[in-house]
Amino acid sequence: MLASAISALVLAATASAHIVISYPGWRGNNLITNETFPYGMQWTYPCGGTPVTGNRTYWPTTGGALAFQPGWFRGHASAFIYVNMGFGDDGPDGGPANMSFPVIHPFQILGPSNNPYPGTVCLPQVPLPKNMTVQPGDNATIQVVELAAHGAALYSCVDITFLEPGDERIAEVNATNCYNSTEIGAADIYTITTRESGSDEYVSAADPALSLSVFGAPLLGWLPLLGAGIWAVL
Check residues 190 and 96 and name the one with the higher pLDDT. Answer: 96
pLDDT over 90 at 112, yes or no? no
Check residues 196 and 77 and name the one with the higher pLDDT. Answer: 196
Angle of CA points 18, 19, 21, to nearest 5°? 155
Q: What percentage of the chain reaches a pLDDT higher than 70?
A: 74
| pLDDT for 210 | 43
pLDDT over 60 at 8, yes or no? no
CA dist 184 and 145 (Å) reads 17
Q: Which CATH number fits domain 2-233: 3.20.20.140, 2.60.40.3880, 3.40.50.620, 2.60.40.3950?
A: 2.60.40.3880
- pLDDT, the chain, mean: 80
- CA-atom Rg of the chain in angstroms: 18
Confidence band for 17, pLDDT divided at 50, 70 and 90: very low
Mean pLDDT of 5-23: 53
Residue 42 phi, psi dihedral angles, 5° rounding: -70, -10
pLDDT, tens only, 202-231: 876 545 444 444 444 333 333 334 343 434
Model's pTM, two decimal places? 0.78
Tell me which of 95-99, 103-107, 111-115, 185-189 is least confident: 111-115
